[in-house]
């Protein structure tokens, strides 16, 4: 019998924004999979995405490849599966097999705004598709735990947890950055500085980047559930620290008494932080009562001038991606191409002129959209632009014996570097210093320093978290491919390729929420008791629903 040829894994991208574009490019260039469909409400973004990644510049979408939003796709997919079941073909996403039905997908990339993730995941959970969700998973711990329950298969009669039915991955791209993979190997496998005593890690957000996303943009306001810039910007930095100091060296190989080795859980978590810069008290005197850059006398010499920040990107049109000008006006490249540079600049200025007054617009209306021309000192932001998190671990007496240690994380806005992490790890036999490009190892015994220059990612991956976007997409698709074509069981593929379970992803988010609670209440969170209380409360609430 001729062996069946391998099937090319197919994926739906929900959300054709910045993150959707990044993952689509990675899937189509470095994995055996393909982007098969897109769901995006913005017509121009959806069509441009399709031309670039699915049906080509001169092609047209086939049935099942273009949807105005994820709900439209879900209705279509449920109907498609129903028709296939009636026809006696139970392989719901076989792509046509011996019949003429349209192709389905094997997995979904969820790249929509943070507040939509929970609704989407819970709505599609019954499809048992493989899922990669952009970070953060959800904006509250309760919602994270709800997602966990939604994706967990039902228990059997023996009340034992059933095996997962699909691959799950979260957009913690720092785990998949080649630089960080080398760093973790040096620390945990080669143990070049021995037992780790302490770690310092910093994310320099970038002075204008913070103003774009966290003062004027979509992530400028915290919700009552407890999210803030630590969650929306730096949850993968907290995850990175836990990956180095908490997780077993290998998820697949780790084993101990009673099964898989448990993580080395923290003892305590504390945090301090505040809005230090972007508030009315910092406003230049000559700005007077202006609330918008285009009507402000101080604009010409203000570092945060919106015209300067956004319009300067237009000069790169046709050469590089013009982020963040294309966030302000998603179709600005199309306007530039069809109407010229002056029309593109006028469209941008029109968007930047938009402003609001709390006297004439309801707060809910103000909150529901970004205001990219707004004065950064008159904005409605309330998320920290400077925050420090401290995590402490105790000695662990049970095998394997793991020692006490500490970690300090610093998220800071006014920096020259933009998201180029740096840090230092102290061990009993040496120390490591790292930035986004190199790793320096100092050995106490020899008093010598060894520097590892990590090769930079290819030019087209420069803005992909140091190659982390590509690494994450590659590993997720490899896991799906192993299940679809090699018959590998889900748990093995999850461990071998993704290297992180859904449970670990939820716990990583929980540490962020614990840190935010510690900051707001000016207290120290005792992890074990705190986590147990949260789990009990969430389970009780779920039973009442």
CA atoms 190, 192, 197, 198: torsion sign: negative
How far is Cα 480 from Cα 412, in angstroms, rounded to an integer? Answer: 37
What does the pLDDT read at residue 3?
62
- Planar angle of CA 533, 539, 541, nearest 5 degrees: 100
Q: Which of 308, 310, 285 is nearest to 213 (CA)?
A: 310
Q: What is the edge-to-edge ordering of all strands in the sheet holding 107-110?
A: 66-67, 34-39, 10-14, 107-110, 130-133, 168-170
Mean pLDDT of successive 10-residue stretches along the chain, which has 545 residues: 78 95 95 97 94 93 96 97 77 54 93 96 97 96 95 65 87 95 96 97 96 96 82 96 90 52 91 96 95 96 94 64 83 86 90 93 93 97 97 83 92 95 97 95 98 82 80 97 96 95 96 96 97 90 69
CA count, 13 A, side-chain hemisphere, 106? 21
What does the pLDDT read at residue 91?
55
- Planar angle of CA 406, 168, 28, nearest 5 degrees: 110
What does the pLDDT read at residue 258?
38
What does the pLDDT read at residue 333?
83
Single pTM value for the model:
0.92
Give kind and range of the element (H or E) at residue 274.
Answer: strand 268-274
CB 303 within 8 A of CB 208: yes
What does the pLDDT read at residue 257?
37
Contacting residues for 145 by C-beta, under 8 A, at least 6 apart = 506, 534, 535, 538, 542
- Planar angle of CA 162, 117, 114, nearest 5 degrees: 140
Ordered by where they begin, the domains of the chain are 176-207+218-277+383-459+502-524 (3.30.360.10), 280-367 (no CATH)
């Amino acid at each position: 019998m001729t062996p069946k040829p391998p099937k090319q894994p197919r994926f739906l991208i929900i959300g054709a924004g910045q993150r959707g574009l990044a993952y689509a490019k990675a899937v189509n260039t470095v994995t055996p999979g393909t982007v098969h469909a897109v769901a995006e409400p913005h017509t121009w973004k959806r069509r441009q995405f399709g031309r670039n990644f699915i049906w080509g510049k001169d092609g047209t979408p086939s049935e099942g490849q273009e949807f105005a939003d994820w709900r439209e796709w879900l209705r279509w997919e449920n109907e498609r599966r129903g028709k296939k079941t009636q026809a006696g073909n139970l392989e719901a996403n076989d792509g046509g097999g011996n019949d003429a039905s349209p192709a389905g997908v094997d997995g979904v990339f969820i790249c929509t705004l943070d507040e939509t993730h929970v609704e989407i995941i819970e709505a599609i959970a019954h499809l048992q598709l493989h899922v990669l969700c952009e970070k953060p998973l959800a904006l509250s711990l309760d919602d994270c735990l709800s997602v966990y329950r939604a994706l967990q298969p039902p228990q059997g009669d023996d009340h034992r947890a059933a095996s997962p039915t699909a691959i799950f991955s979260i957009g913690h791209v720092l785990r998949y950055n080649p630089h960080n993979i080398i760093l973790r190997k040096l620390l945990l496998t080669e143990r070049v500085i021995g037992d780790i005593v302490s770690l310092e890690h910093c994310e320099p957000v970038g002075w204008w980047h913070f103003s774009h996303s966290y003062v004027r943009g979509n992530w400028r306001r915290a919700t009552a559930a407890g999210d803030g810039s630590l969650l929306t910007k730096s949850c993968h930095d907290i995850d990175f620290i836990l990956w180095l100091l908490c997780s077993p060296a290998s998820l697949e190989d780790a084993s101990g008494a009673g099964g898989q080795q448990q993580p080395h859980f923290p003892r305590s978590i504390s945090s301090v932080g505040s809005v230090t810069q972007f508030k009315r008290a910092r406003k230049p005197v000559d700005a007077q009562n202006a609330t918008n850059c285009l009507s402000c006398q101080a604009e010409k010499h203000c570092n945060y001038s919106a015209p300067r920040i956004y319009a300067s990107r237009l000069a790169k049109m046709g050469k590089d991606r013009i982020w963040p000008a294309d966030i302000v006006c998603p179709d600005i490249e199309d306007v530039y191409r069809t109407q010229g540079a002056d029309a593109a600049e006028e469209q941008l200025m029109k968007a930047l002129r938009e402003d609001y007054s709390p006297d004439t617009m309801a707060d809910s209306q103000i909150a529901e959209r970004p205001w990219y021309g707004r004065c950064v000192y008159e904005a409605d932001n309330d998320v920290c632009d400077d925050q420090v998190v401290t995590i402490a671990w105790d000695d662990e007496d049970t095998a394997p014996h793991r020692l006490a240690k500490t970690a300090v994380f610093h998220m800071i806005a006014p920096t020259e570097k933009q998201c180029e992490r740096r840090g230092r790890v102290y061990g009993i036999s040496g120390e490591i210093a790292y930035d986004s490009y190199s790793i320096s190892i100092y050995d106490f015994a020899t008093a010598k320093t060894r520097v590892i220059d990590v090769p930079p990612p290819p030019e087209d991956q420069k803005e992909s978290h140091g190659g982390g976007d590509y690494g994450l997409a590659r590993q997720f698709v490899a896991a799906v491919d192993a299940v679809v074509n090699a018959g590998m069981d889900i748990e093995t593929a999850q461990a071998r390729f993704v290297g992180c379970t859904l449970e670990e992803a939820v716990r990583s988010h929980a540490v962020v929420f614990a840190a935010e609670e510690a900051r707001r209440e000016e207290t120290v969170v005792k992890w074990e008791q705190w986590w147990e209380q949260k789990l009990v409360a969430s389970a009780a609430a779920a039973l009442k629903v």
